[in-house]
Amino acid sequence: MTSIVIDYPQDPLATRLAHLGQQIPRRVRTYLTSFVPILQWVHRYRLSWFLQDLIAGLTVGIVLVPQSMAYAKIATLPPQYGLYTSFVGVSIYCFFGTSKDISIGMISTVSLLVGQAIADVQAVYPEISGPQVAVSLSLFAGLVTLLIGICRLGILVDFIPQPAIAGYMTGSAITISVGQLPKLFGLTSVDTHAPPYLVLVSFFRHLSLAQLDMAFGLTSLGFLYLVRFGCHYASQRFQHKGVFYFGIMRNGLVVILGTLVSFLVNRGKQVSVISIIRNVPPGGAPATGAFSRTAINAKSGVKTPCGGLFSALVVVLALYVLTPCFYYIPDAVLSAVVIHAVADLVSSPRYLKTLFDTSVLECVVWLGGVVVTVLLDVQTGIYAAMGLGLLFMLFRLARPPVLLLARIPLSPDRSLYVDETDVNYSPHAFHPPGLLIFRLVESMLYPNAEAISETILATVKARTRCNQHNTSWHEQTVVLPTNTPPLRGLILDLTAVHRIDSTGLATLIHMRKTLDGFAGTSVEWHFAGLRQSRLRRDLIYHGFGSANDDDEKDISGKKLPDGEQEPGYAVPRDKYPYFHWDVETAVNFIWTRWNGSASFLV
């Protein structure tokens, strides 16, 4: 039977450079066209998609108009700023966006950040207006976003853990809701730019001064929730599409009804009895993707980003046709729309239970984002949640577990190798004497290389007998049985390892020398589960994969003649004999090599 020997030779540098040079024109073309994604799909646009985009776009537009005005109020800007901003966002994204579902416009958290920035600037430079600050923020936010897109730095977002996002969004929802309470009750003497807990204290202190706005605000809020829960119940019972569309129109409907009542109340009066919008001048603010409108877009069956154009059409219609009606929109009604919208950003009890059951540390990240946001501000809450998330990630990276594997016989010719501390697997069978098997669950990099080495050395020291007594490290700190075998070999299961950097490789070399001194002889290093050719090449370059002693070098690193095959191998083998497909193959090879007999499992 012919032996199949597998090797992964590295291409010469000249070959790799030539291959890269051939790919440069295609990569440059792909890079440039990626900035205008519409070119990749517009020629395939179907007429059937038009109707779906039209329905979804109009549906989102109906939600976008009242929400954008309400979110502009969070940013301490006139409501029309939200409309102008949303029109630009949904229009341009069609040409430069890649997601068919996302809806660009003002959102609650960004509006809150803009409002805080305006307050900070005006505290130092009172002559600068809020719209001027918002326009400047829009310009610089756009430049930063453009730079991130050009440099393809979107990977930075991947370093923000989901619990951190949920935490600061929950804190933001609480902050926004508390900040809208004074407007909901018509209180003008409450500083809504203070930390949320101070706003809440001041709100209750001035509650006796509530105005007629309270009737508009509480009625609108009650109406929104009544329609929401009613439509949810009706949709489950009747399964009719019209119920869905009526439910998402509730924001626009409450604004229309509130404005109509406001007009009737204030008709013929020189001074309004409630707080209303009044003037509608033009102006731009920062915008981004909205969770709620994106979900509505997806549920409405949008097919392409062209749905945003129809949403923009609704906004333009509102600006040119309904602008005179905006004069009488009550601020309390917009506050009710805001509170109703941001309430969905609060993490649900089910999510928190799942998060706690999954990881207590991630629950701490969520809690940190909420607490810091509520006590200080949203920006600090974002930094705190991200910082905690990155800190825990780095800790897990720097201190990964190193598992000592035990053997569980499944049949006369097959075994399972598991973590020996797992109580679900017992009793454990023995390994070949003097052999320890370790499984690395993370890549071996400079933050964790020393910790992995210390864990392996400590385990070796506790499980095998020392044959040298000249150095302090070799002094046993535990009393071992007299029949404890000396260390002869290690197996490192690298199935989950994708990379070992230069620090990790240097640590392995140092550990090999240390263990040779501990054992008084050359310790065999076997590797199982190598999945990356680069990792294999690095190990070979640093002298792993073959025997270390001179007597065995001549045979361990070469192919066997045709017709010969290593005992215990029933599958193609690696050119380097100390690289194995899995742990079981490695154990069988070592048993045969050490004892010259058949498979260890037989």
**18: confidence class by pLDDT, cuts 50, 70, 90:** confident
Could you say which of 348, 377, 395 is where a domain stops?
395
The verdict on residue 29 lying in a domain is no
Cβ contact 311:60 at 8 Å: yes
473-498 per-position pLDDT tens digit: 545 555 566 678 889 999 999 999 99
The verdict on residue 365 lying in a domain is yes
The pLDDT > 70 percentage for the chain reads 89
- Of the candidates 177, 201, 78, the one whose C-alpha atom is nearest the C-alpha of residue 190 is 201
What would the mean pLDDT of 161-171 be, rounded to a whole number? 89
- When mean pLDDT is compared across 262-271, 356-365, 567-576, the lowest value belongs to 567-576
Q: Tell whether the model's pLDDT for residue 560 goes beyond 50.
A: no
- Is there a single domain that holds both residue 240 and residue 301? yes
435-456 per-position pLDDT tens digit: 999 999 999 999 999 999 999 9
Residue labelled with tokens 């001194």: 517
Q: Tell whether the model's pLDDT for residue 276 goes beyond 60.
A: yes
Could you say which of 341, 365, 395 is where a domain stops?
395
**280: confidence class by pLDDT, cuts 50, 70, 90:** low
The pLDDT > 90 percentage for the chain reads 24
Check which CATH number belongs to the domain holding 411 and give it. Answer: 3.30.750.24
What would the mean pLDDT of 127-155 be, rounded to a whole number? 88
- Is there a single domain that holds both residue 216 and residue 78? yes
What would the mean pLDDT of 405-433 be, rounded to a whole number? 82
pLDDT at residue 426 in the model: 72
The verdict on residue 281 lying in a domain is yes
The verdict on residue 601 lying in a domain is no
- Is there a single domain that holds both residue 492 and residue 369? no
Q: What phi and psi, each to the nearest 5 degrees, are found at residue 406?
A: -120, 160
How far apart (Å, rounded) are the C-alpha atoms in residues 446 and 457?
17
pLDDT at residue 457 in the model: 94
- Is there a single domain that holds both residue 385 and residue 451? no
Give the Cβ contact number of residue 265 at 10 Å.
17
The verdict on residue 26 lying in a domain is no
Q: Tell whether the model's pLDDT for residue 141 goes beyond 50.
A: yes
**571: confidence class by pLDDT, cuts 50, 70, 90:** low
pLDDT at residue 559 in the model: 42
pLDDT at residue 4 in the model: 66
pLDDT at residue 286 in the model: 62
- Is there a single domain that holds both residue 352 and residue 448? no
Label each residue of 403-444 as H, E or C. EEEEEEEEECCEEEEEECCCCCCCCCECCCCCEEEEEECCCE
**79: confidence class by pLDDT, cuts 50, 70, 90:** confident
Q: Tell whether the model's pLDDT for residue 58 goes beyond 80.
A: yes
Instruction: With H, G, I as helix, E, B as strand and everything else as coil, classify residue 41.
Output: coil
The verdict on residue 426 lying in a domain is yes
Domain count, the chain: 2
pLDDT at residue 388 in the model: 92
Q: Tell whether the model's pLDDT for residue 564 goes beyond 50.
A: no
The verdict on residue 24 lying in a domain is no
For 597, residues 6+ apart whose C-beta sits below 8 A from its C-beta are 591
| Cα dist from 62 to 284, 296, 297, 361, 451, whole Å | 20, 11, 11, 41, 57
Domain housing 421? 400-595
Pick the most confident of 228-242, 264-278, 520-534.
520-534
- Is there a single domain that holds both residue 332 and residue 408? no
Q: Tell whether the model's pLDDT for residue 536 goes beyond 70.
A: yes
pLDDT at residue 481 in the model: 62
Give the Cβ contact number of residue 293 at 10 Å.
27
**68: confidence class by pLDDT, cuts 50, 70, 90:** confident
Q: Tell whether the model's pLDDT for residue 338 goes beyond 90.
A: no
192-206 per-position pLDDT tens digit: 878 888 889 999 998
What does the mean pLDDT of the chain come to? 83
pLDDT at residue 492 in the model: 96
- Of the candidates 73, 85, 83, 77, the one whose C-alpha atom is nearest the C-alpha of residue 284 is 85
Could you say which of 395, 411, 429 is where a domain stops?
395
pLDDT at residue 554 in the model: 37
Residues 247, 252, 254, 260, CA torsion sign: negative
- Is there a single domain that holds both residue 285 and residue 311? yes
- Is there a single domain that holds both residue 469 and residue 535? yes
- Is there a single domain that holds both residue 330 and residue 434? no
- Is there a single domain that holds both residue 89 and residue 197? yes
pLDDT at residue 552 in the model: 43
What would the mean pLDDT of 296-319 be, rounded to a whole number? 81
Pick the most confident of 86-90, 238-242, 323-327, 464-468.
86-90
Q: Tell whether the model's pLDDT for residue 182 goes beyond 80.
A: yes
- Is there a single domain that holds both residue 563 and residue 516? yes
Q: Work out the end-to-end distance of the chain between its first and last CA atoms, rounded to an integer number of angstroms.
A: 22
What would the mean pLDDT of 61-90 be, rounded to a whole number? 83
How far apart (Å, rounded) are the C-alpha atoms in residues 119 and 137?
13
pLDDT at residue 599 in the model: 60
- Is there a single domain that holds both residue 224 and residue 306? yes
What would the mean pLDDT of 281-291 be, rounded to a whole number? 61
The verdict on residue 500 lying in a domain is yes
How far apart (Å, rounded) are the C-alpha atoms in residues 542 and 358?
40
